Amino acid sequence: MFKILKYSFYDLMRSRWSYLYFIFYLLLGLILLFLNRDVSKAVITLLNIILVLTPLIGTLFGIIYFYNSKEFTELLLAQPIKRSHIFWGQYFGISLSLSLSLVLGLGIPFLAYGIFQSTEIFNFMTLLLIGAMLTFIFVALAFNLALIFDDKIKGFGVAILTWLSFAVIYDGIFLVLLLVFNDYPLDRFALGATLFNPIDLSRILILLKLDISALLGYTGAVFQNFFGTNLGIILTFTLLNLWIIIPVLAIKVISKHKDF
Amino acid sequence: MISIKKLHKKYGKLEVLKSIDLNFEDSGIHTILGPNGSGKTTLMKAILGMVIPNDGSIEFNNKPILGEWEYRKDIAYLPQIAHFPQNLKVQELLNMLKDIRPGAVREAELISLFQIKPFLNKKLGNLSGGTAQKVNIIIALMFDSPLILMDEPTVGLDPISLIRLKKLILDEKSKGKLILITTHIISFVEEVSDRIVFILDGNIYFNGTIDTLKKQTNQKNLENAIANILEKTNV
């Protein structure tokens, strides 16, 4: 598995898209710090960007890489390598290289600015960790979709729709439900629904960490009320890990039954 | 070496292999013949574990292959169409495969045999069809495996390379290897094969030597004998 991981990782490190992604974060970090001398405000702005962007890029890279490396995958399938190791190797290769672009791209400007002297260092690290976790989650989801759909257009469409539903549509539906069922207690339902959205979980986790209740939103507020800050952080973190583990295991299960 | 029992495979509603029973012994060249879409490639991919059968079993050296992967170190596979990562160089691909699968003993010999040296630093996407096929052959045969699966190895090869390939296949046979080949070129079949398996619509129509086939159909040459099978089934 590690050999496949190594080649996928190098392959992506050589591609100009990884550099673009890295440079984008580098510029973003520099500009944010330049416009906004306050590190804690910069972290909050970054949060909103990371919550939307890392899932999108993870989904796109994941699905494009899978379809583009189909030939190589077929070549590997005829070799004495475990099926799951081929796909896991590729998966970790992409996820790691994307996470590296994120961590280095944002890390360098903040490091230069003196984040280590700031009290925000742990919040900033949490933010990078969340970005990396969202990358791992959405690349895994994209891989599953690519394994299910042989048709590139279909797979691509469904992947974008998945991202859209987690990033945008989910919030919309949630708001509508809150308005319609205004008279009923929706706390439990809100808690349950949050589990099914990794982006929402990430947002709650980082906002609990930052301790900004104004930005928590409905689900976040319910979460904080119900579990308190510390338990809330532990719980969201555990759930995010499950959001990585389950799709990664699903890659093995789905690939096992697939014909090539 | 390979024993296939009641192998059944369908893609959606299309039944590609209908309960096939086949045995391949320890050495010799066996050609799998049949019209397009008769299930030859599916059969090979099933042996490799790339296609998962709906029913039936395949045993390699008396062990079921389902879910296994180690047995593939004893198989060299030459896929029908050479699909390569387009932006890699030939040498990079070879190095990568050698790293992933140790035991490539014949690389240099095959490179000089097929005169691939000038192309080693070219990108795979820029190779001509025939050159890509030669790279394909090198990738498959550089590992010294007791079982060789070749899916239409002659496609796109020039006459000289074809002669070299033929010699190569016969050499491998003399080393006691089992070689399965699918092809549409009858002269190639007549020259190299010890046994013919004829597949049509997912069933085995004939399984035996060329002479038996000729006798059975009362034909003097193989081409007519095969045409004879096809016509009989159409009536």
Question: Token match 């069933």: residue?
Answer: B203
Domain boundaries, chain B: 2-234
d(CA A129, CA A189): 28
Q: How many CB atoms are closer than 10 A to CB B152? A: 18
The pLDDT of residue B46 is above 60:
yes
DSSP H or E run through A22: helix A16-35
The beta strands (E) that lie in chain B are given as: 2-11, 14-24, 28-33, 55-60, 63-64, 75-78, 147-151, 178-182, 195-200, 203-208
Mutation test of the interface with chain B: which of A4, A77, A253, choosing the one with the most B Cβ atoms within 10 A?
A: A77
Contact B45 A76 (CB under 8 A): no
Check CB contact of A150 with chain B, cutoff 8 Å: no
pLDDT at residue A238, as a whole number: 93
pLDDT at B65 over 70: yes
Tokens representing residue B68 in the block: 């296994």
Of B64, B84, B71, nearest to B128 by C-alpha is B84
- Pick from B11, B72, B86: which is nearest to A78 by CB? B72
Average pLDDT, chain B: 87
pLDDT along chain A (260 residues), means of 10: 85 85 92 82 86 94 91 88 92 94 91 78 89 96 95 94 92 84 79 85 85 72 79 89 96 91
Length of chain B: 235
Strand pairing class (B75-78; B63-64): unpaired
Q: Which amino acid, one-letter code, is at A158? A: V
Q: For position A249, what pLDDT does the model report?
A: 96
Q: Does A82 touch chain B (CB under 8 A)?
A: yes
Q: What is the pLDDT of residue B234?
A: 59
CA A239 to chain centre: 13
Homologous superfamily of domain range B2-234: P-loop containing nucleotide triphosphate hydrolases (3.40.50.300)
Q: Residue A158: is it exposed, middle or buried by C-beta count within 10 angstroms (0-12/13-18/19+)?
A: middle
Cα B117 to Cα A141: distance, rounded to the nearest angstrom: 42
Kindly tell me if the per-residue pLDDT of B235 is higher than 60: no
- pLDDT score of A139: 96
Q: B97 vs chain A: nearest CA distance in angstroms?
A: 8
Q: Map tokens 């390598």 to a residue.
A: A81
Neighbouring C-beta atoms of residue B10, cutoff 10 Å: 15
Per residue in B160-182, pLDDT (tens digit) is 999 999 999 999 899 889 999 99
Chain B positions with Cβ closer than 8 Å to A = 11, 45, 48-52, 67, 69-73, 75, 77, 79, 83-86, 96-97, 99-101, 139
What residues in A contact B124, CB-CB < 8 Å? none
Instruction: Name every residue whose Cβ is closer than 8 Å to that of residue A195 and which is 6 or more positions away in sequence.
Output: A201, A239
Q: How many angstroms away from the CA of B136 is the closest CA of chain A?
A: 10
- Distance of alpha carbon A179 from its chain centroid, rounded? 29
Q: Distance between CA atoms of B82 and B97, rounded to whole angstroms? A: 15
Rounded Cα distance, B210 and A162, in Å: 57
CA–CA dist B45, B231 (Å, integer):
28
